[in-house]
Structure 1
Amino acid sequence: MKVAVVMGGASPEHQVSLASGRGIAKAVEVLGHTAIPLVIDADGNWIDGQHEAIEILQACDVTIPALHGEGGEDGRLQGFLDQLQVPYVGSGVAASAVGLDKHLTKSVLTAHGIPVTPGVTLRGTDLTDTEAALQKLKLAGLDFPLFVKPANGGSSFGVTRATNLTTLLTAIADAAVLDPNVLVEREMAGREIDLAVLEFPDGRVETAPALEIHADPGQPFFNATAKYDSSATRFVVPAPLDPELALRLRRTAIEVFEVLGCAGLARVDFFVTSTGEAVVNEINTFPGFTPASQFPRMWAAAGLSYAEVVDTLIRTAVARG
């Protein structure tokens, strides 16, 4: 098959997407297909030109939109591909849009009785009116330490741990540069556990063994530096979990996937407290996909190689049409 691999994009995750796209394109070639890389530059322009890109996409059998963050993982590219009637890997417009928007994700999951990290969303005058923002946090029962992040985005860009009013106001201002909606959440003390969800061509949805993150102790939390640039960060897979907790996380991850209407793949991130409470932190509808990324690591622990995971994604997308 001819497989288009779209990568890059205008989000802060541009370089991460390029790395994911290159890894996927290499796997596509290993599988015996023809990989056709299509790069969107950091300003959001197709390097080959939009008209040329449309012709290439329509000439391919399937597209892998290996974009992370806004402009690619948020439903915009998926809608574009739907208009072109091009089969593609992963979730459609609605699930992609909701999945990237952390506020909407939490609202939908809460409505379905799925526990999420407690928090509030600040927008409009909340971002500049300190008293209004503090009142909103007080009503929600939120106190320091807090995590502040853009409502749309990933790779920990724009995420800050705030321990007092000064750091909170700075964090809100920094996050607001990246997104007009800013999420302020309670710090969850406990373990960070990820689940990889994969849809198979016959419609089955499965999870790989869970992964536990042990972030670089030299960093304040699992930030972008700890994620991409630190040799001190460790990913333990399979995560040491008792059978009951492992089953609960697996069932919840699949429920999140299905409630949000996802397709193809997703990574669901949890916090597990010392009392065994598990809450959903977020979902990534197209998670980092380099050979060293968490998603492929988890499936490697299940016995699926990187190329085999890419093969499953392609075959599932083609089967779905």
Structure 2
Amino acid sequence: MEKLSLCVLFGGCSSEYEVSLMSVTSILNNLDREKYDIYMVGITRDGRWLLYEGEISNIRPDRWNDRRYVTPAILSPDRADHGLLVLREGGVQRIRLDVIFPVLHGKNGEDGTVQGLFELCGVPYVGCGVLASAVCMDKDVAYSVLTQRGIPSARSICVREEELTHPEMVARKLREAALSYPVFVKPANAGSSVGISKVHGEGELLPALQLALREDGRGKAIVQEFLDGIEVECAVLGNGDPVASADVGEIEPLRELYDYEGKYCDDTTALHIPARLPPAKAQEVREIAVRAFRAMNCQGLARVDFFVLHKDGRVVLNELNTLPGFTDISMYPKLFCHGGMGYGELLDRLIELALGR
């Protein structure tokens, strides 16, 4: 069988650059070399695209960007090229690609920007399209769509950067939305819990909004109700007929906020698969996850995050992640692997779904 020409993209201009390096290391170590000719393309923090031809082990510690191993390369938007242009000293090398696997998290990776480039290139790619990626990334827009589709999501308001000059207006918006402290303040456009604060009173609100807006970079922050419940996640896989993972996973933060460090850097979070939920409640989570996936027109994959409230057992959607982490400890691959699908098999399925579109 002829190998597929596969470009794996990693790094990126994002606060989640380091997460991408962890994710792509796991993915590259589990791709079948008998099935794929793999081209590794890294994007530096300042946006340079480089074909990387060194060892996988150099990527996670961020030693890949060494001129001995890299050559400038770009994805050509000209569909006649259908792939990479490698700018070697002797001239331009053209590499025709069958599929692209973007392992890019956060801004410029899962927000529709790079997906638009893939569409121009005419090369199939893993994951959601332009619209679904952009809508899911912007929590303000995502909550509006989910509410319209009858999917229960967290109550929130959007605060724009220019409104910080009138803090009394922000306070009034909170009162009108019946949001009482504590609340969570988040960037509208960021992932991995970067820039998130739990705010206990009005005196903490302005610094939290300033932090969120710095991370957002697009002038929008979200003030969201505090949801007292069990934090659970469900993985969804598919195109027109998506399926949820057989089990739901539970996040148990061992400190107040499940933040970036808790996800990737320390041992302050416990994961439970399956989640400690009654079977009927876990099934409800799975069903809503698939409904949300379809409502947002997702394709390929998404991780859908929820709270199951202690008070009344309601299932409330927190957010959808269209390119979730694939690190050694990430919930998305762990959920499918726990259900019996091997890591490499999951990657093969994602590539098949990209080609099937």
Shorter-normalised TM range: over 0.9
Answer yes or no: is the 8 Å Cα contact 1:212–1:237 preserved in 2.
Answer: yes
Higher helix proportion: 1
SS of the equivalent of 2:84 reads helix
CA distance in 2, matches of 1:253, 1:264: 14
Alignment deviations for residues 104-162 of structure 1 (CA, whole Å, 9 cap, x no partner) = 11000000111111110001432231101000111000111010010001011000111
Structure 2: unaligned runs, 5 residues or longer = 52-70, 77-82, 86-94
Higher strand proportion: 2
**Structure 2 partner of 1:293:** 330
Structure 1: unaligned runs, 5 residues or longer = none
SS of the equivalent of 2:214 reads helix
Matched, 1:70 2:73: no
Matched, 1:258 2:301: no
CA distance in 1, matches of 2:134, 2:27: 23
CA distance in 1, matches of 2:7, 2:73: 15
What's the CA shift for 1:191? 0.2
Residues 141-220 of structure 1 mapped to structure 2, 5 A cutoff: 141-179=178-216, 180-199=219-238, 203-208=240-245, 209-215=247-253, 217=254, 219-220=255-256
Answer yes or no: is the 8 Å Cα contact 1:271–1:280 preserved in 2.
Answer: yes
Residues 59-98 of structure 1 mapped to structure 2, 5 A cutoff: 59-98=96-135
CA distance in 2, matches of 1:166, 1:42: 34
Q: Which of 18, 21, 31 is the equivalent residue of 1:28?
A: 31
What's the CA shift for 1:230? 1.8
Partner amino acid for 1:182?
A
Partner amino acid for 2:14?
S
Partner amino acid for 1:106?
Y
Q: 1:221 to 1:31 in 2, by over 3 A?
A: farther
What's the CA shift for 1:50? 6.8
CA distance in 2, matches of 1:90, 1:173: 32
Partner amino acid for 1:56?
L
Matched, 1:281 2:318: yes
SS of the equivalent of 2:133 reads helix
Residues 124-135 of structure 1 mapped to structure 2, 5 A cutoff: 124-135=161-172
CA distance in 2, matches of 1:178, 1:22: 25
Answer yes or no: is the 8 Å Cα contact 1:150–1:176 preserved in 2.
Answer: yes
CA distance in 2, matches of 1:291, 1:246: 24
What's the CA shift for 1:25? 2.0
**Structure 1 partner of 2:279:** 243
What's the CA shift for 1:93? 0.3
CA distance in 2, matches of 1:161, 1:75: 28
CA distance in 1, matches of 2:16, 2:193: 10
CA distance in 2, matches of 1:126, 1:142: 18
SS of the equivalent of 1:37 reads strand
**Structure 2 partner of 1:225:** 261
Answer yes or no: is the 8 Å Cα contact 1:296–1:306 preserved in 2.
Answer: yes
What's the CA shift for 1:242? 1.6
RCO higher in structure (CA 8 A, sep ≥6)? 1
SS of the equivalent of 2:31 reads helix
- Structure index of larger Rg: 2
Partner amino acid for 2:234?
L
Partner amino acid for 1:72?
G
Answer yes or no: is the 8 Å Cα contact 2:127–2:300 preserved in 1.
Answer: yes
Matched, 1:13 2:49: no
Q: 1:238 to 1:266 in 2, by over 3 A?
A: same
CA distance in 1, matches of 2:196, 2:139: 13
Please report the TM-score for the alignment, with normalisation by the length of structure 2: 0.85
Equivalenced residues, count? 316
SS of the equivalent of 1:56 reads strand
